[in-house]
Amino acid sequence: MIDNKITIKGDTVVDIQRGAIGHRATWTGLTYTKGCEAGMAEEMEKVIRQAISETGNTQGNEIREKCPDAEDVSVFADTFLSPTLQKTFEITFKTKNKDRVDLEFHHCPLLKAWQDLGFDDAACEKLCDMAMDGDRGIANAMGYEFHLGDTIAKGCKTCEVSFYKKEK
């Protein structure tokens, strides 16, 4: 059972950001489910993954341009994860150094939007993995590896996300 709790409440900017992210998730979720209803599940997943991945690559290139030292993964994290974004997803850093950043997300506004639409756990898990193609694209644009461990959408307590330097 998915438990996507919110502990940071009443922060106007965080609430606005969560709303915008949830709105984006609603579009994606409804696009995917309507495609599934039309018998095009595989095609919709492929197209949505391509679009999200390209979005991630675009965002990653923008982050790379703003990042004072893209060789330092902790500097990337500071550039990518603003204090507001950290509060939005209720992120804690498990590791943060020049070679790697390991994060735990305690809330997901995308998942909340899908839950609010009444999507079952399997659909939420599929949409979550599709959405993570954006983070995979960011890692790719930065020249990093990416790892997704546990996710809230799989019924786990947190989402475990890692960005780290590629092996040479």
Closest C-alpha among 13, 52, 54, 6 to residue 29: 52
pLDDT tens for 72-113 read: 999 999 999 999 999 999 999 999 999 999 999 999 999 999
Task: Note whether residue 123 is domain-resident.
Answer: yes
Task: Note whether residue 7 is domain-resident.
Answer: no
Amino acid letter at 102? D
Task: Note whether residue 143 is domain-resident.
Answer: yes
- Is pTM beyond 0.85? Reply is yes
Task: Note whether residue 5 is domain-resident.
Answer: no
Residue 151's contacts (CB-CB under 8 Å, 6 or more residues apart) are 125, 128, 129, 159, 160
Task: Note whether residue 3 is domain-resident.
Answer: no
Range of the domain at 22: 12-165
CATH code of the domain in which 83 resides: 3.30.1380.20
Task: Note whether residue 29 is domain-resident.
Answer: yes
Task: Note whether residue 6 is domain-resident.
Answer: no
* Domain count along the chain: 1
